[in-house]
Structure 1
Amino acid sequence: MEIRQLRYFISVAEHLNFTQAAKRLFVAQPAVSQQIASLEKELGLKLFVRDKHSVQLTPAGKVFLHDAIEMLNRSEEAINKAKKAAIGEVGQLNIGFLYATVKNFLPALVRDFKEKYPHVQFSFNHYQTAQIIEKLRKDEVDIAFTLSFRPEDMAEWEYKTLVSQPYGVFMNKSHRLASRNCIPIIELAHEPLVMLDRKEAHHGYDHLITLFSNHGLIPNITTQTQRIETVLMLVEAGLGVAVLPKHLGVYANPSLRFIEIEEWQHTVEIVVAWKKTNSNPSIPLFLTELDSLNFKEVQNNIGLV
């Protein structure tokens, strides 16, 4: 049974006239008669009673009409859905993120996107930096919001810088240096540093070691832990200070301060990344929506402490 046959049958049933149905369909009348005859043969029953003066639906034709309309509607819906899926308006997007990088803009971004494309479904997963890289590589994540600590990996995917965040030092407000507006790097050389465990974020860890060594210093790392929330909790407890990008202040309690490091113009870029070989057509739509955001405002509101 073909969709064309259903359309021809429904048109004849609505007009009860083959000639008028043919005109409505913009085809010749014999073509309509041929398709109806073929449909009746395929079904093994008569759909119309015809004579020289009238055309009427048979009892079977009346029953079939209801189902034919439903089948045609479903087929058209399926075709439209497939067309939308081909251009990304129907589908699935898997988003991976570092919480601190997206807290100030992702909720509004997703809300606006869903208003435009309600048939795109999302899954969201919070990862560590190294995890996101692997998820991208394995096609388990379509779009990742992460940090640009690994430029050697960028050959595998496209990326776009959203904002740049300065490094500084987080410390308890009761710390002897907490009243400063900025601190020379030399004064941090002997301060106990709390850091993420190298196994959790080895590129970030190595990056910080390099930043210190560029100034002829070796950081005094006294504590390592597995989560950034724990790093800042230990800083709050007075067990040391933490040299981190400013946006991580979203995890900080009011008892902590973020202080800039004097003559230390190092930044980290917050990026959106996607694998070059990922053919998910919803990705360009999401990136277009992302482009509409005002990241100057995001920059001003990220990680204030």
Structure 2
Amino acid sequence: MELRHLRHFVALAEEEHFGRAAERVFVVQQALSNSIKNLEEEVGVPLVLRTTRKVQLTPAGREFLAAARSTLQEADKVIERARRAARGEVGRLTLGFVSGLVFGGLPDVVRTFREQYPNVSVDLRELTAQEQEAGLRSGQLDIGLMLLPVRDPAFAYEALWRQELVAALPGSHPLARKERLDIQDLADEPFVFFPRQIRAAYFDQVMRWCAAAGFAPRIVQEAIEVPTLLSLVAANLGVFLPIRFFQRVSLPGVVYRPVNAAPIIDIVAVWRRSDDDPVVRAFMQVARAVLVGERVGEADSKL
């Protein structure tokens, strides 16, 4: 039994005429007649009474009509759900992100995505870059948001955030009176920073920047979370070099100053090159639109 047989039967039941029903379903009358005959043979009982004037349903036909309408409605729902899934409008998205992106526009991206795609379930997981890469390989993550570099050729990526570093200083620090700093201004200052194993690319980029200015930062305290590091700055333990969007963290006792020739930190969306999931494409489209003011430069690979 095929859905077209059910559609032909419903059209005939509602039109009560083979000619009009055939026009309604865009087939010739003989094809419609054959379709109804095949349906009756499969069901095993007569469904219609044929007269010279009109078509009437048998008692079995009336019962079958209700079931046929219900089946077609469910089939239409299934078809529409498949089409919506192909457009990325239904499904599930598991998204990994590095600590700190909650201050960098990620909530805006997720909120907008959920507004535009309310039937997609979003699962957020705060993970290190290494954990995200493992999750992508295993299929447990659909997209990872992390710092460069991305070395696995199985991954495609696109920069969503490209942000320069700024200096976070204790509010009472003499350098806080300057509108802009040079990195050399910090040469004799104690630093608070991430352990290298937590943010290797970030750590190395800062070390290279300082080395080019002729000094190695004296790190006096380490912490793995940016809010903790900013709290250490507020406690006057040292200075810190966060990504610019952390200026949105207003913490008493901390001031932010731009630094001349500060390096750019790329935070990228990463996904499997082999993945053609429409939900991933939909999320990337929303992220690009929301973060247009946070991103510069060309993408390595776009989905």
C-alpha distance in structure 2 between counterparts of 1:229 and 1:144, whole Å: 22
- The amino acid across from 1:42 in the alignment is E
Partner of 1:142: 142
Question: Structure 1 residues 94-103 or 163-172, which shifts more?
Answer: 94-103
> Hey, what does 2:229 align to over in structure 1?
231
Give the secondary-structure state (helix, strand or coil) at the position aligned to 2:60.
helix
Contact 1:193 1:221 in 2 (8 A): yes
Would you say the 8 A contact 2:92–2:120 is kept in 1? yes
Q: Which residue of 2 aligns with 1:288?
A: 285
- 1:9 is displaced (CA, Å) by 1.0
Say if 1:102 and 1:145, in contact at 8 Å, map to a contact too: no
SS of residue in 2 equivalent to 1:27: coil
Contact 2:10 2:69 in 1 (8 A): yes
> Which residue number corresponds to residue 179 of structure 1?
177
1:27-46 → structure 2 map (5 Å cutoff): 27-46=27-46
Q: 1:88 to 1:219 in 2, by over 3 A?
A: same
**One-letter amino acid of the counterpart of residue 126, structure 2:** H
Report the AA paired with residue 217 of structure 2. Answer: P
The answer on 1:192 being equivalent to 2:215 is no
Name structure 1 gaps, 5 residues minimum.
300-305
Distance 2:28 2:175 in 1: 90
Relative distance call for 1:294 and 1:152 in structure 2 (3 A) is closer
What's the counterpart of residue 268 of structure 2? 271
Please identify, of 181-190 and 193-202, the stretch whose mean Cα deviation from structure 2 is larger: 181-190
State the aligned residue count.
295
**Residue 87 of structure 2 contacts residue 279 of structure 2 at CA under 8 Å; is this kept in 1?**
yes
TM-score of the two chains, using structure 1 as the length reference:
0.83
Note if contact 2:12-2:21 (Cα within 8 Å) is conserved in structure 1.
yes
Q: In the alignment, which residue of structure 1 is the partner of 2:127?
A: 127
RMSD: 2.7
- CA distance in 2: counterparts of 1:52 and 1:119, whole angstroms: 51
**Same amino acid, percent of matched pairs:** 32
Displacement of 1:13 in angstroms is 0.9
Which letter maps to 1:66? A
Structure 2 partner of 1:243? 241
> 1:303 corresponds to which residue?
none
1:50 partner letter: R
Say whether the 8 Å CA contact 2:234–2:252 is kept in structure 1.
no
Q: Which runs of 5+ in 2 are unaligned?
A: 296-303
* TM-score, L = length of structure 2: 0.84
> In structure 2, how many angstroms separate the alpha carbons of the residues matched to 1:151 and 1:112?
27
How many angstroms apart in 1 are the aligned matches of 2:286 and 2:82?
22
Matched letter for residue 73 of structure 2: N
* 1:130 and 1:200 in contact (8 A); partners too: no
Q: Aligned pair 1:4/2:4, yes or no?
A: yes
Cα deviation 1:52-79 (Å, max 9, x = unaligned): 4443212222122111111011112212
Q: Contact 1:162–1:270 (CA<8 Å) still a contact in 2?
A: yes
Aligned to 1:56: 56
Q: Is structure 2 residue 244 aligned with structure 1 residue 222?
A: no
**Partner SS, residue 159 of structure 2:** strand
